[in-house]
Amino acid sequence: MANRYAVGERDTRPWGTWEVVAGGDDYVVKRIIVSPGARLSLQRHQFREEHWIVVAGEGVVTRDDERIPVSRGVAVHLPLHCVHRVENGGAVDLVFIEVQRGDPLDEDDIERLEDDYGRAPEAPPSA
């Protein structure tokens, strides 16, 4: 298994931040903070599944055709290939713990379908 994250690795994104807090050959654990009014890309993964548990704040998780309200203590499983995102419509940070399992584990396994920050591929022009 290939885990390309390092414990302590951090990144700032337009929607908030993430930090790797633990990891092994076939898993990684991140603490993710979504800023008020922000949301992640609508995305899917080809090589990993994810499990999210909210530890602070409130939001909504999109999982395929479902919209799931989440708050502290609520967990959501995101199976391989499901289309998903999380959004924070509240006034305080939404904080959750993400456990990824798969091979490889890295940021290259994000297929963005929609993105508020211009990171999704443009749709091809219609003929």
pLDDT tens sequence for the chain (127 residues): 577 889 999 999 999 999 999 999 889 999 999 999 999 999 999 999 999 999 999 999 999 999 999 999 999 999 999 999 999 999 999 999 999 999 988 888 999 999 999 988 765 555 5
Q: What confidence score (pLDDT) does residue 11 get?
A: 96
pTM attached to this predicted model:
0.90
Residue 40, phi-psi category: left (phi > 0), alpha (psi -120 to 50), beta (remainder): beta
